Chains A and B, each alone.
Chain A
Amino acid sequence: MSTDRRGEVRERRVSTGGLELSVAESGDAARPTVVLVHGYPDSKEVWSEVAVRLAEDFHVVLYDVRGHGGSTAPVPLRGGFTLEKLTDDFLAVADAVSPGRPVHLVGHDWGSVQSWEFVTVARTEGRIASFTSVSGPSLDHLGHWIAQRASRPTPRGAAQLLGQGAKSWYVYALHAPALTELAWRGPLGRRWPAILRRMEKAPEGAAPYPTASLPQDAAHGAWLYRDNVRARLRRPRTDPYAHAPVQLITPTDDVFLSERLYDDLDRWAPDLVRRSLPGKHWVPRTRPAQLASWIGEFVVRHEDREGGGQPKGATAAGAVREAPAVSAVRPAPAARTAGVYARRFGGRLVLVTGAAGGIGRATAFAFAEAGARVVAVDRDAEGAARTAELARLIGAPEAWAERTDVSDGEAMEKLAKRVVTEYGVVDVLVNNAGIGLSGPFLDTSAEDWKQVLDVNLWGVLHGCRLFGRQMVERGEGGHIVNTASAAAYQPSKALSAYCTSKAAVLMLSECLRAEWGGQGIGVSAICPGFVNTGITSTARFTGVSAEEESRRRKKAKRLYGLRDYPPEKVADAVLRAVVRNQAVVPVTPEARGGLVLSRIASGALRAIARVEPPL
């Protein structure tokens, strides 16, 4: 039934101040209303992919901003695009589509800039239940941001100012009279769709975008800048406080806006949730599913509130929520780093193999602490269940345990199917499961080789193959972390099978990184080194008696225990690798030293390889 509704788009026109706005509605009108406002140079079609998804659960409203798409333009243009007039338009639309009930507002780019005005002026109070801002700061906040850095220029402040100043080159260009219009109506307008596709690596959507009205929209939209930017930046309002809860979504690779712009935002928006999304500026086109899911969650959370989202008294003023974990107003430096993880991984789906212990378990916990949803996979069902249970206790909104042997292709296929149908497409995949094997090459049987390669290499291959395909098909990026080892570049006379399997994992990661990098899927290989985990108690030693094997296991365990490098530090390296999209990450000092040697003095590594390990 919901699919019928979402397909049906109802168009209507709303009059405001002598103009006619083109408004499109979809979804059940009895549901909470979500109003999506587009940016520059766009029309409401920029939201079409997001709107289709949201319409399953909400009453979705799109409108063309005055002078854009199907809406009429003010005459004269100068002075017709002030934020005050845009606020009139919004109120007219909101009254038409959701009389007497506050709406949930979502803005992208200039849609977000004007929505900031809507959400901070007194006359809209009670009309907005929540606001999701994507890639568009408030001009008033920006004015204060600039004034603060310009009046007391610290080196860092000055650098931020110059950095954002350079990113804003187009703002100055848009102030050039007539030239902008000429360019858009001429060559720029013709080439824009291709430029956009190349720049954003955006897939071609079902709905036509950009629309044929683009040259006209872009020419009219230039007045958004001319009518507002200079005036507001020079004299920002002193009271631009948000009267509704705000969800701020910042794309990590936005070439027009830096994340620094929002440093002081908690001062203006007392009830704030921050999220960061790997992607470029036009995330409504490139990451529609993720945006729709976050918008939906936020709407639902604030719809549940009494009064449909009036936050008065419901929240402690000054409390900033790092989504979804709660943190203090001025977090300690350590908490601020955790905040980066919370912004990036809050609500994302993370799957970790080998999660019943050691690095896998610590990694699952680190993601859980950042607020990610976690799937803990392991052969050891009980251990995985325990990981999932504790993950929920430390902050994962949801966590599941799955018993699967990564070396079993069929089981992995079943797992991939179950995960995608029950939990969704994995955002971060950590192929961590692995086993150890030590012994001379001639004492290593074909069966031993098979076992090591099955788990250490095929396990990773199955993971990348199955979950990587889902990521590619979804087309919204993702990240794969493969746990290789320092043994991947450090040969050893006692570890031929293990080193070979890990070297293969490292190379596989590098190749996949090259292949999938263009699609926004990052691949990292983690090379931990000697870490105090359970791998020593399950490692096998070939060519020795059972008794000797047990003795060596104990000895190895003791040595690793003496080294005592905690798996939690590796887990932290995993999260950092995802945030920074690092290719190869050695973790312990010896792993880092080994990597340097392998690049500048591989002969030294070969000499070390001949040393008998002290077992």
Chain B
Amino acid sequence: MRKRGRGRLSGGSVAELDGFRRTQRLAYACAEEVGARLRPGVTEREAARMLRRWLEVRGVRDWFHLPFAWFGDRTAFTGFRIPLQFFPTGRRLEEGMPFILDLAPVYGGFSADVGFSGRIGENALHDKLLDDLRAHRELILREVRERRTLRAIYQDVDRLMVEQGYANRHRAYPFGVIAHTVDRVEERRWSPRVFGFGTQALKGLASDAVRGHREGWSPLWSPYGFSDHPPAPGMWAVEPHLGFRGTGAKFEEILVVTDSADPEQSAFWLDDDLPHVRRWETTV
């Protein structure tokens, strides 16, 4: 793995992967536990606060972004026009409602960004969406290994969603991104946030953008021209997001891209022991 970041990331070491994996696991554990505690009547703001508390108690001091929670048709981002609509609202959870918890803690200097889709009670449609996300996880890994351009992969993901009958809701994310890089973050005593995003992490992303601009790649994986390049080595938090008539589902996890010549080693998911992956394995 190539040496990246501001000279701190001594690329590819097992210890480093372990660090990212530890943060990602912690974030998923948090999402699973809080997800299991959600009951009808809880608001998005309360859920987001629960996520934050849970992680802060376990030593998280900084964030790539503060936790988000979306309930009901907000999981499909219906009617989202401005980025402020991403922030948790007073929407209350009801029986049968889908929800998405999205959290990006920095832990021990390693950041992660995870998305967890769940539902309260029965929701067959939501189950179907979660099942169908599997094809996207496989498609993304396969095409990254084939070193197709990020823009082309993006378009293939879109096409698959249309074939499946869904709308891509990652289109609603800033710059329409399906993924962005995550990095090591310097831990400081004071880490202020701007619009819910940690300044340290944003600084990392910005310096990646500057470096990427010089080297011809972008830390944002979007449908636009600036993503018309093969996958750049690094840690990519990938978040394909399906939406279908008021129900949305996504996963978000880290894809490790390296400059190895071996296809297997050139790209792999950081961790396969995640709730959505376990779900697919048990349903098969």
Contacts and interface: CB of A to CB of B under 8 A. Distances in A.
Interface residues of B, number: 9
Nearest to A391: B165
B244 A383 contact: no
A387 B165 contact: yes
Contacts of B164: 386
Interface in A365-381: 365, 369
B162 A390 contact: no
Contacts of B128: 389-390, 393
B245 A369 contact: yes
Contacts of B125: 390, 393-394
Contacts of A502: none
Contact of B245 (A365, A383, A386, A534): A365
Contacts of B163: 357, 383, 386
Given A365-B245, A369-B245, A390 B124 contact: no
Interface string B152-188: 0000000000111100000000000000000000000
A361 interface: yes
A393 B124 contact: yes
A389 B124 CA distance: 11
B199 to A, nearest CB: 34
A389 B131 CA distance: 13
A203 B242 CA distance: 51
Contacts, number: 23
- Of B124, B128, B162, B245, the most chain A CB neighbours within 10 A belong to B245
A386 B165 contact: yes
Contacts of A386: 163-165
Contacts of A383: 163
Contacts of B244: 390, 394
Choose among A365, A383, A386, A393 the residue with the greatest number of B CB atoms under 10 Å from its CB. A393
B245 A357 contact: no
A22 B27 CA distance: 75
B245 A394 contact: yes
Contacts of A389: 128
A452 B125 CA distance: 37
A365 B165 CA distance: 10
Q: How large is the interface on A (under 10, 10 to 19, 20 to 34, 35 or more residues)?
A: 10 to 19
B242 to A, nearest CB: 12
B92 to A, nearest CB: 13
B162 A534 contact: yes
B164 to A, nearest CB: 7
A390 B161 CA distance: 13
A386 B128 CA distance: 11
Nearest to B245: A394
Interface in A80-138: none
Interface in B113-158: 124-125, 128
A537 to B, nearest CB: 9
B165 A361 contact: yes
A383 B165 CA distance: 9
A357 B165 CA distance: 7
Nearest to B124: A393
Contacts of A361: 165
Nearest to A328: B94
A534 B165 CA distance: 12
Q: Max chain A CB contacts within 10 Å: which of B162, B163, B165? A: B165
Contacts of A394: 125, 244-245
A393 B128 CA distance: 9
A114 to B, nearest CB: 39
- Residue of A383, A387, A394 most packed against chain B (CB within 10 A): A394
A534 to B, nearest CB: 7
A115 B60 CA distance: 67
Contacts of B165: 361, 365, 386-387, 390
A88 B256 CA distance: 80
Nearest to B223: A561
Nearest to B165: A390
Interface string B5-36: 00000000000000000000000000000000
B173 to A, nearest CB: 16
B135 to A, nearest CB: 12
Contacts of A387: 165
Contacts of B162: 357, 534
Interface string A524-536: 0000000000100
A387 B162 CA distance: 11
Nearest to A532: B162
Interface in A384-414: 386-387, 389-390, 393-394
Contacts of A534: 162
A534 B159 CA distance: 10
Nearest to B125: A393
Nearest to B126: A393
Residue in A357, A361, A390 whose Cβ sees the most chain B Cβ within 10 Å: A390
Interface string B47-60: 00000000000000
Interface string A488-508: 000000000000000000000
Interface in A420-456: none
A387 B163 CA distance: 10
A403 B214 CA distance: 53
Nearest to A358: B162
Nearest to A380: B163
A393 B126 CA distance: 9
Contacts of A390: 125, 128, 165, 244
A156 to B, nearest CB: 28
Contacts of B245: 365, 369, 394
A361 B124 CA distance: 19
Nearest to B166: A390
A369 B73 CA distance: 15
B122 to A, nearest CB: 12
A386 B163 CA distance: 9
A369 B247 CA distance: 13
Nearest to A533: B162
B80 to A, nearest CB: 14
A137 B244 CA distance: 39
B264 to A, nearest CB: 31
Interface in A451-482: none
A321 to B, nearest CB: 15
Nearest to A357: B162
A526 to B, nearest CB: 20
A92 B180 CA distance: 76
A540 B163 CA distance: 20
B57 to A, nearest CB: 37
Contacts of A393: 124-125, 128
A526 B245 CA distance: 22
A507 to B, nearest CB: 33
A365 B164 CA distance: 13
Nearest to B123: A393
Contacts of A369: 245
A389 B244 CA distance: 13
A371 B165 CA distance: 19
A390 B125 CA distance: 8
A369 B128 CA distance: 16
13 contacts: A357-B162, A365-B245, A369-B245, A386-B163, A386-B165, A387-B165, A389-B128, A390-B128, A390-B165, A390-B244, A393-B128, A394-B125, A394-B244
Which 5 pairs across A and B sit closest by C-beta, in order of nearness? A393-B125, A390-B165, A393-B124, A386-B165, A393-B128
Given A386-B165, A390-B128, 17 more contacts: A357-B163, A361-B165, A365-B165, A365-B245, A369-B245, A383-B163, A386-B163, A386-B164, A387-B165, A389-B128, A390-B125, A390-B165, A390-B244, A393-B125, A393-B128, A394-B245, A534-B162
Interface of A: 357, 361, 365, 369, 383, 386-387, 389-390, 393-394, 534
